[in-house]
């Protein structure tokens, strides 16, 4: 399947118009992480290098066709001394399938604090997810064969007061990536859509549902590398009316909180028809 370099590839058609690559896939719909990642790459291409991405907020409007390329229209909303903002719309066949706002910041000095990383098994103590899976799950994971994904067994996820649906996953890209920090940010935007909605199903494992990402927000807090181990500490604080709210904190192996994610997804019951 596609490497992350292939998945995030875009070409410039005009000053603020880009077209993303269509990659080999077995999915019926374009993977949401790929759309978000390509949209962020398009936004980055319109910003001076001194700015770094600090947040994005995206909405998945329509299912994308993975056999078609997506065109990204970038609007330059604001260019200031410390912050700049871009709005990106992903289009297929004349219809918007994704919209995103991304904010960029020139870092300043200020107070520092963070939550403590939970105590979990290290990735070296966990099995590669590709071992021991059912044939169906193994087929699905072929889509992300370039990623090493190692979930913490559910019975070993530490119980926390008030957290009803927790999930923890270690992940990294299997191959060395370029040193450009912005490439790692765009790579994490791609990866952050993977597994997160699953935290809403932790306490409903036997309920068949239709699942899809609806919106996605990220904050990039500290430098990191996506080809080194990252812990995705996830939970789902609420599910109702066919939607599940999920959130995740992403830590590096040193325990530094590098990113935070919030997503709402569709988890409605399958209809008989």
CATH entry 2.60.120.620 includes domain 1-106:
no
The ranges assigned to domains in the chain are 1-106, 121-273
pLDDT the model gives residue 107? 85
Residue 1 has pLDDT above 80, yes or no: no
Residue 236 has pLDDT above 80, yes or no: yes
pLDDT the model gives residue 133? 54
Please state, rounded to an integer, the average pLDDT across all residues of the chain. 92
Question: Known catalytic residue: 263?
Answer: yes
Q: pLDDT by residue (tens digit) across 46-79?
A: 999 999 999 999 999 999 999 999 999 999 999 9
Q: Which of 22, 103, 236, 263 is catalytic?
A: 263
Q: pLDDT by residue (tens digit) across 199-232?
A: 998 989 888 888 899 999 999 999 999 999 999 9
Determine the Cα–Cα distance for residues 76 and 43; give it in Å rounded to an integer.
9
Question: Known catalytic residue: 101?
Answer: no
In terms of pLDDT, which residue wins out, 130 or 185?
Answer: 185
Among residues of the chain, what percentage have pLDDT more than 90?
Answer: 77
Determine the Cα–Cα distance for residues 251 and 118; give it in Å rounded to an integer.
9
Q: Which of 92, 165, 213, 235 is catalytic?
A: 213
Q: Which of 193, 199, 234, 236 is catalytic?
A: 193
Q: pLDDT by residue (tens digit) across 133-176?
A: 556 556 667 777 899 999 999 899 988 888 999 999 999 999 99
What would the CATH number be for the domain defined by 121-273?
3.10.129.10
Tell whether pTM > 0.85: yes
């Amino acid at each position: 399947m596609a490497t992350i370099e292939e998945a995030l590839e875009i070409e410039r058609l005009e000053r603020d118009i880009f077209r993303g690559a269509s990659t080999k896939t077995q999915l019926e719909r374009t993977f949401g992480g790929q759309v978000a990642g390509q949209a962020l790459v398009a936004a980055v291409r319109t910003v001076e290098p001194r700015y770094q991405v600090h947040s994005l907020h995206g909405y998945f409007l329509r299912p994308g066709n993975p056999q078609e390329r997506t065109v990204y229209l970038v609007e330059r909303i604001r260019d200031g001394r410390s912050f700049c903002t871009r709005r990106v719309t992903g289009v297929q066949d004349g219809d918007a399938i994704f919209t995103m706002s991304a904010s960029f910041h020139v870092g300043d000095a200020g107070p520092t604090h963070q939550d403590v990383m939970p105590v979990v098994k290290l990735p070296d103590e966990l099995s590669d997810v590709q071992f021991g899976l059912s044939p169906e799950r193994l087929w699905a994971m072929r889509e992300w064969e370039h990623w090493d994904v190692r979930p913490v067994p559910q019975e070993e996820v530490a119980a926390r007061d008030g957290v009803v649906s927790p999930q923890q996953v270690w992940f990294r890209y299997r191959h060395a990536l370029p040193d450009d920090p912005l490439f790692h940010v765009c790579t994490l935007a791609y990866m952050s859509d993977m597994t997160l909605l699953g935290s809403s199903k932790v306490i409903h494992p036997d309920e068949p549902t239709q699942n899809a990402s609806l919106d996605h927000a990220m904050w990039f807090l500290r430098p990191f590398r996506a080809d080194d181990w990252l812990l995705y500490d996830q939970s789902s604080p609420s599910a109702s009316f066919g939607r599940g709210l999920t959130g995740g904190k992403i830590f590096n192996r040193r325990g530094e909180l590098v990113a935070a994610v919030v997503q709402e997804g569709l988890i409605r019951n399958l209809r008989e028809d």
